[in-house]
Structure 1
C-alpha cells in the first residue's frame, strides 16, 4: 500500500484558503510584498483557524457566512481570537517566544507602525548587504511598513487588524457574491417596486447579520446609484437583475447624472477667521486654560492661520493609544516674520482607530510635547 500523506495542518489550510480568497479579490492576485494583501489574508486566515478550533470542524467546512459574521468589526475578531486561541495553547502575548506561526501572525496584525520610518531603498539594501562581508553592518531602522508596499490608509500608524478588517470582509463578501449576487459597480436594472425600470450601478451590498446563529444571509439588498434619481437608493436583492447596456462610468445621454454633479462649480465657503479657528481649538481641548488671555487676544487678531501635522504614532495593546501632533501657527502681521508668529500645539489621543471621542490637549511649545504625550498615554 502506498504511504499515507500526512494530514494537512489546520493553520496551513486556513492560510491557503485565505490566500486563494485574497488573490481572487485582487486584480493582480495575492502579492506577498503588499502590506494590504498580507493584512487581509492574515485576518481571514486567523478567523478561519479560530472557527475551526471552536467548532471542531475542518477548515474547509467553515462557511464564508460564519467568517463574514466575525468580520463585522475588529472588536468581534479580537474577542473570538483572544477567547479561542489561548485555549488551544497559543500564547498571544507580545513577549511570547517566536516560532508559532499563528501567534506571529496575530502579533503582526496587532502591532503598530511608524508612518514616518524610512522607505525601503533599492540603493541602500545592496550597500548594507555588501558591508556584511567586512563584518560591520550599520544599525538601520525598520523600513516603513516592514519593507512592503502599502495602499490602504498608508498614513495611519494603527494596527492592521483595526485598519483592514473591513477590507477583509470585502474579500469574503466577494467569495459569497461570486456564488450568487451582484458586485459593487455592477450595472443593474430594477424589476419591481417604486423604481421599476430604472437602471444604475451597485455602490454597496447589504447583508443580514443573524446574531442568534452567528452567520450572515444575503445579499439582502443593494445600495444602487440610479441614473435618474438623486443620491442612492436601498433596493431589495430580489428587485434587481443584471443588465449590460453600459459600462462604468458612462450614463445614457440626457439622464440626470449624465453631467457633473450639482454644485460641483459652486464657490467655496469663506475661510474661517483666526478668532473662529482658535474658538474651535479651545472648545475641543481638554485643557484650554493653558492658553493665556494675552495669547488668545493676539491669535484672534492674527491675519492668517496655518496647520501642520508633526507626528502620528501609536502603541499596541495592552497600552493601546494613538496620538497625533498638530502644529497650529498664526501669522500676526500682514507679512510673515519669524518673531511675529504665535504657536499652539495640539495632541489628539484615541484608544483605537475608530474612537468616536478623541481627547484633545494643548501645549504652548514643542518642549512640552513629550511630557504631555506621556501623561495622555499612560495616565501619569
Structure 2
C-alpha cells in the first residue's frame, strides 16, 4: 500500500473513531483538551486501521462487534495489532523519543507515540484537582493520577465506548463491561 492510501485509511479510521468515542462523551468533553476522549479515539483509530489493513478493507466497514472484541482483549493484543502499522519496537515500547523515529511526522505514528507515553503520577494531596501541567494542560478523568500509558490502561474503556455507540442516545449509560485488569471499570 502506498503512503497516500495508507494516510487516507488512517484519516478514515480517525474519523470513525472520533464518531464512536463521541457517543461515550458529552459534547463539552469531545475536544483535544480532554485526555480521555483523545486516548479512546486514538485507541479505536489504531484498532480500526489495523483491522482494515489486515482485511484489505476500509475502516468504515470494520464491524463494531469485531472492534469491541479486539479492544476487550487488552493492551498486549492491541500492541500486537499495531506491529504491522508501527513496527515491533514502537508497538511494544513506552516513552519513545519522537526524534528517534524516522516516521515521527506521520499522524498515525504521532498518535501511537502519544498512546504509549507514560504520565507523571499525581501527588495524592492534589487529588481530585489536576495540575495544569500534569497532562499537558488536558483534563483527565479516567485513570486520573495513574502514570500508565493510555494503551495499557484504557482498552476496556475503548470497548465500552464501542458498546455505547451501538445504543440510541436516550439509552446510553455506563455499560456493563466484560473487561478486567487495568483500566477496567472499578480498577
Could you tell me how far 1:153 is from its partner in structure 2?
1.7
8 A contact 1:183–1:205 mirrored in 2: no
8 A contact 1:184–1:204 mirrored in 2: no
Give the RMSD, CA atoms, in angstroms: 3.1
Could you tell me how far 1:60 is from its partner in structure 2?
0.8
8 A contact 1:21–1:171 mirrored in 2: yes
Deviations 1:126-175 (A, max 9, x none): xxxxxxxxxxxxxxxxx211221111121110101112111111110012
Structure 1: distance between partners of 2:13 and 2:82: 14
- Report the structure, 1 or 2, having the larger helix content: 2
Structure 2: distance between partners of 1:112 and 1:175: 28
The correspondence for 1:101, drawn from 97, 107, 112, is 107
SS at 2:176's partner residue? strand
Number of residue pairs matched by the alignment: 162
Q: Alpha carbons of 1:75 and 1:26: their partners in 2 closer, same or farther (altered >3 Å)?
A: same
SS at 2:140's partner residue? coil
SS at 1:106's partner residue? helix
Q: Alpha carbons of 1:116 and 1:175: their partners in 2 closer, same or farther (altered >3 Å)?
A: closer
Partner of 1:64: 64
8 A contact 1:114–1:144 mirrored in 2: yes
SS at 1:145's partner residue? coil
Partner of 2:126: none
Which contiguous aligned blocks of 4+ residues in structure 1 show a shift greater than 6 angstroms? none
Q: Alpha carbons of 1:47 and 1:99: their partners in 2 closer, same or farther (altered >3 Å)?
A: same
8 A contact 1:158–1:353 mirrored in 2: no
Output the TM-score relative to the length of structure 1: 0.38
8 A contact 2:17–2:42 mirrored in 1: yes
Partner of 1:81: 82
Long gaps (5+) in structure 2:
124-129
Partner of 2:39: 39
Long gaps (5+) in structure 1:
1-5, 121-142, 186-202, 208-351, 355-380
- Report the structure, 1 or 2, having the larger strand content: 1
8 A contact 2:18–2:41 mirrored in 1: yes
SS at 1:147's partner residue? coil
Which structure has the bigger radius of gyration? 1
Output the TM-score relative to the length of structure 2: 0.74
